[in-house]
Chains A and B, each alone.
Chain A
C-alpha cells in the first residue's frame, strides 16, 4: 500500500527531494500528492516531513527523524555471499562493492558507497538472503546525539 499525504501538508517540498522514484508531486506552498502506482514504500517522505503530514501504507502517522539519525546498513561480511542482491535492491544506488579482494579471498563485498544518498529504507537488509545486513544509526552520530 502506498504512502499518502494529508492536508496537514504545508507544501515545503522536503519530501520531493528525497523520494527515490519521483512519486510526489505538488506546487510549492500547496498540499502534495503521492502517486500510488509509483510509491515503493521506502518511508523517506515520512522521515523527512517536518509537520507529520505523511501516513504509511497502513494509515499510521509517520514521525520525522533527524537526518543524521537515519538508520544505515551495517554489513557483516562473514555472512555475506557476494550475491549483490542488496546493491540492486537499493532504490537510490548508494551501495557498491566496497571491500575488494585480498590474496586469500578473490570475491568483492558490498558496502555503503554514498552515505549521504542513503535514505535508510532498509530494502537491502530485507532482501539480503543471508541476514548479513542490519540497519543501525551510525555510532558516532549516536554518541554525538547523546551529548546533544
Chain B
C-alpha cells in the first residue's frame, strides 16, 4: 500500500472523450517522487518529439505533491506541466490555494490530459467518477466569475483550476487560475488548456490521504510551526527603502538568514521588498535599463508595503501554510476584493514600466489574474512596447493612438486590456516580447528582454548573478523560483548535506560576478533541491526558513516510510533535472539558446545605479553549472554517461 502518495493517475483524452485510471508502480515514486518529478517522467516519455504545443499531442499534467495532505506544513502547492508554447521546451507553473490537496482527495497524484475537445468542456472529478461536461456557459467568462459559477453548480467543496480570456485566446503568456484569481502563471500553459478547449478542471473528492507515521509528521510540523510564529517587531514599511539604500552603499554583501525574510513575509508578504529591491538593485527598472536614480524612493513610495497592508482585510493562507504571506485586499472601483498584489506584479507593472500609480497596479493585477495572464510577462511586454515607442520603433499609429510613454498608467491600462482582448497592438503583444519583436521587426528585437522566449522574473542578475544563471540554464528559462545566491544562503543546505559549501555572513560584493566551481556547486544544489521541493509540493517560501528549521527530507521519510538521506533526495532532484533537460533535447531545444538577453547580465553594463559597471560572467557560470551534472559543458546536452549514472531508462 502506498503511503503519502495515492498511487494512481487519471488520464483524459479530449479527442476521443475517454477517461481512464492508471496505477503507477511504487518504483516511479521512489525514483521521481510525485509532483513535478512524476510529471517529468510521464511527459518526457509520452509527448512525441516535435509535438505542436497547441496541438492534440501535447499533454497537460496537473500534479499535487508527495507531502500534500500528510500534515506537513507548506505542502499546498500544485503544478501544471506540459510542453511550453512560449519556449518550445519543458513547461511548468506552480500555484498554491486549495487545489493541490483536491487532486489527491479524488484519489490521484496527477491528472494528465491530451487531445482536443470539439466544444468547450470542463472535467469534473469526484472520488467516484470523472466526466467531461459542457462548458459553453462559462466560456468567455473571467476566471473568478467562472469559478463561482462552477462551484455553484457542483457544490461548495469543489476546487477549480481554470483559464480566463487570455488562455481561451491562446495567449502564449497565459496561465491557469484557482481560488479566486491566484495563478500558475508561467510557461504559457494557459494557452495549452485553451487550445484543448478545456475551460476548467473541477475536483470534488473527499478521499483520505494515507500517511506512514502521522504522529512523526505532526511532531516535525509542530517544531517548524514554532519557527514560523516567531516574530519580532520590525521597522515601519517606509523604512524598507532606506534599508535597501543602506545595502547598496555597503561594499560587502550580507548573507541573508531566511528567518528575517520570513518575518517580512508574515507581516507584509512579498510586497515587503517593493521599495527595498529597487533601492538595492534587485528590482529591474525601466525595462532593465534604469535604476533607483530613475525610479526614486519618492516615486516608489506609493508601493510602500505599509500602504498596501492598509488595504488588507484578512491574511490569506494557502492550504497547509502557517505563514500566510498572501492577503485579501479591498480595492477601489470595479472589483471589491482582490488578492494582494505580489512583489513580482508590483515591479513588472510598476518600476519596470516606470509606473507608480498604485491604483492602476491594483486594478491591473486583478484584471490580469481574472484574465489568466501572467503579470510578469505582461508587465515586461508592456515595458518592451514602451521602449519601442519611446525609441520610435513603433508609433502612435501602431498603438492605435495610445501615448505609450514611460509611466503613463492610463495608456498602460488600455494596452493591457487590448492584450487580453487581442485587439490591435494588443494582438501583437499578447504572446510575449520575443514574439512581439518578431512581428514588429526592425530594431524591436534589441528591446526585448527574455530567456528562451520567457520574460525573466523581477530579480536582477546584476545584483545577484545566481538569478541570471538560473534564468539561462534551467529547462524552464527565465524563472526566479529555482535558484540564486540569496536562495542558496537561505536554504542553508550545507547544514544537512555533506560537501556543500557554507556561506559566511559577510563577503565582498565584487566576488559575485566571476565564475567558479563553488558557484556552480551552489547553483546545481538549488536546482536539485527545488526539484525535490516541487516533487513534494512544498512552498519555496517555506524552504527559505533554512534546512534545520523546515524538515523537508524528514517529512518525506516520515510520511512515506522510506529511510533516505538528504544526499539521496538530492540525487533524485538531479535525476529530475536531467529528465527535464532530456525533454528539451528531444524537442529540439539548443540549451545555449536560453541565454538571457545581454543587458540583463550587464552586457553592456549600466553606467549608474546600484549595478553600475557590473557584468556577470554568465557564459563561464553556465559552463561550470553544466559540468556539475556531467552534461556536455559546451552544449548543455546530457551525455550518455550522465544519463546512465542518474538512473534514467529511456524506454
Interface residues of A (CB under 8 A from B): 20-22, 38, 40-41, 81-85, 88, 91, 93, 97, 100-101, 106-108, 123, 126-127, 129-131
Contact = CB atoms under 8 A, between A and B. Distances in A.
Contacts of B208: 40-41, 123
A106 B314 contact: yes
B317 A107 contact: yes
Nearest to B228: A81
The 8 closest A-B pairs by CB, nearest first: A129-B221, A91-B206, A81-B322, A93-B157, A107-B315, A129-B71, A106-B315, A81-B225
Contacts of B71: 85, 127, 129
A81 B229 contact: yes
Nearest to A107: B315
B314 A21 contact: no
A124 B321 CA distance: 15
A124 to B, nearest CB: 12
In this complex, the interface size class of chain B, counting residues with CB under 8 Å from chain A, is 35 or more
A84 B317 contact: yes
B218 A106 contact: no
7 contacts: A81-B229, A83-B225, A84-B98, A84-B320, A88-B105, A107-B317, A129-B218
B515 interface: no
B389 interface: no
Q: Is the interface of A mostly helix, strand, loop or mixed?
A: loop
Interface of B: 69, 71-73, 98, 101-102, 105, 127-128, 155-157, 206-208, 214, 217-218, 221-222, 225, 228-229, 312-315, 317, 319-322, 324, 327
B128 A126 contact: no
Q: Is the interface of B mostly helix, strand, loop or mixed?
A: loop
Contact of B324 (A22, A100, A107): A107
A75 B588 CA distance: 56
Given A101-B314, A106-B315, A85 B320 contact: yes
A104 to B, nearest CB: 12
A131 B596 CA distance: 48
Contact of B317 (A83, A93, A123): A83
A106 B312 contact: yes
Contacts of A129: 71-73, 217-218, 221-222, 225
A40 B207 contact: yes
A38 B315 contact: no
B222 A130 contact: yes
Contacts of A108: 314-315, 317
B206 A82 contact: no
Given A83-B319, A97-B314, 8 more contacts: A81-B73, A83-B320, A83-B322, A84-B321, A91-B206, A101-B314, A106-B314, A131-B218
A85 B207 contact: no
Nearest to B322: A81
A97 B155 CA distance: 18
B128 A38 contact: yes
A65 to B, nearest CB: 22
Contacts of B128: 21-22, 38
Given A107-B314, A107-B317, A129-B221, A88 B229 contact: no
